Amino acid sequence: MQLLNLDHVAIAVRDLDQALEGYRTRYGASPIYRETVESQGVEEAMIPVGGSFVQLLQPLGDETPVGKFLSKNGEGLHHVAYAVTDIEHALAHLEAEGARLIDTEPRVGGRGAKIAFVHPADLAGTLIELVELAD
Ligand code: CMX
Ligand code: CO
């Protein structure tokens, strides 16, 4: 098990266009990907920062994970995502460690990457995403 890189920090927003405009005007930063990921209930945009990204997430509905988060907490930091080389191996390791996995098998997320989440109650109150990027 090795965390290769901080792939992204994700921020829940109500209005993706408005948040992107803020990043553009305040920080001169623009997204290089923008896509709807139905399976995760989000429209997402990825802004490159060094070797990592800021991921802005707008929910597709109130009953999605990000929709529920916004209702409860308002806009703000939602999760951190670490890149791994072999996500199945990483999940097997975490399961053996007794970690509270949300996904026991990877799903396909944005950029065609394999992704899986670990529950925020598992460690330090932080929702963690593992990402294995597509070749
Ligand atoms: N960070 C930290 N804590 C969080 C959290 C978050 N992002 N989301 C929820 N929680 C906490 C809640 O505050 C709550 O804590 P308490 O029990 O102390 O009140 C607890 O987790 C349960 O929260 P909930 O509002 O009842 O929500 P659910 O249990 O229905 O869902 C979670 C929480 C994490 C299981 C769900 O959001 C999930 O499956 N997330 C993974 C998928 C996801 O987030 N997809 C969108 C991003 C896609 C992408 O990055 O590509
Ligand atoms: Co993410």
Probe residue for ligand 1, chosen from 117, 126, 133 as the CB with the greatest number of ligand atoms within 8 Å: 117
Q: What is the pLDDT of residues 113-133, one digit of tens each?
A: 999 999 999 999 999 999 999
Check 40, 55, 58, 132 and give the catalytic one.
55
Question: Which CATH number covers residue 75?
Answer: 3.10.180.10
- Tell me the pLDDT of the chain averaged across its residues: 97
Q: Ligand 1 atom closest to Cα of 121?
A: 21
Q: Name the residue range of residue 20's domain.
A: 5-132
* Residue 110 Cα to ligand 2 middle (Å): 8
Closest to 57 (Cα-Cα) out of 134, 3, 133, 129: 129
Strands (E), 13-51: 33-37, 42-49
- Give me the sign of the Cα torsion angle 44, 91, 77, 31: negative
Question: Considering only CA atoms, which residue is closest to atom 40 of ligand 1?
Answer: 65
Domains in the chain, number:
1
Q: What is the pTM of this model?
A: 0.97
Q: Which token pair is 124?
A: 């330090």
